[in-house]
Amino acid sequence: MRKSIALFAVATLAVGLSAVAQTQEQTTTVTRAPATERPAGMIVDKVTITAAVKAIDYEKRTVALALPSGETQTFSVSQDAVNFPQTKVGDKVDVSYVESLAIAVLGPAEEPVTGEGAAVVLAPVGAKPGGFVVTTQSLTARVTAIDYATRMVTLTAPQGTRTLKAGPEVKRLNEIRVGDQVTMQYTEALLLDVRPSQPAPPADAPKQ
């Protein structure tokens, strides 16, 4: 089921991004550490798409989604998606894709951060399909050369050495020294939620 949710969401997102460039909700957020702390910052991109379930074939396990662009796309759903029978025509499918890159400068003697991880949360059996998948990769490289005039920085990590140009968005470059460590953490998150087009009335709501 985990794989099904991920593939179902990725497919929806991939088609939606190419087809609804003008109707998707996309935001970018940039944060930076205060001047009293070592240079650090984070950039977060988020794309959100809402589609509507237009048709379902439970026997063939396919679902047709009406995208915000007006297009309709049909997707296959794996047998692993045990909550697929809970999906109904008219349901809304919310898909959010988030990418973030956090960069921090550490002192030469500080503990480096390296590794990767993943987390998966799924809707309980019997509920509407939903869940999220998060993956994180961290890498620490050491500054082995820096040219403040040209803004060229050479970083050396176990994977190799690369020389990069720090763009104008990189602030406080003059505070970085040869020997410092630069930690980069890249995170991807994919969230999927299927919800009724109309919320269910409260259990104690009076009958009409």
**Which percentage of the chain shows pLDDT scores above 90?**
36
In a domain, 34, yes or no: yes
How many domains does the structure of the chain reveal? 1
In a domain, 90, yes or no: yes
Domain that holds residue 116: 2-195
In a domain, 36, yes or no: yes
Higher pLDDT, 35 or 161: 161
Q: What is the pLDDT of residues 31-58, one digit of tens each?
A: 989 988 888 999 999 988 888 999 999 9
**pLDDT of 21 over the 50 cut:** no
Predicted confidence band at 200 (pLDDT cuts at 50, 70, 90)? low
In a domain, 140, yes or no: yes
- Please give the span between the terminal C-alpha atoms of the chain, in angstroms, as a whole number: 39
**pLDDT of 25 over the 90 cut:** no
Average the pLDDT over each of 22-26, 64-68, 109-113, 178-182 and give the range with the smallest value.
Answer: 22-26
In a domain, 203, yes or no: no
Pairing of strands 92-106, 130-147: unpaired
In a domain, 204, yes or no: no
Segment holding 6, helix H or strand E: helix 2-19
Q: pTM for the complete prediction?
A: 0.70
Per-residue burial over 7-38, b if 16 or more Cβ lie within 10 Å, else e, is bbbebbbebbeebbeeebeeeeeeebbeeeee
| 153 Cβ neighbours under 8 A, 6+ residues apart | 143, 145, 146, 147, 163, 164, 165, 166, 173, 176
In a domain, 48, yes or no: yes
In a domain, 58, yes or no: yes
The Cα–Cα gap between 70 and 77 comes to 22
CB 171 within 8 A of CB 107: no
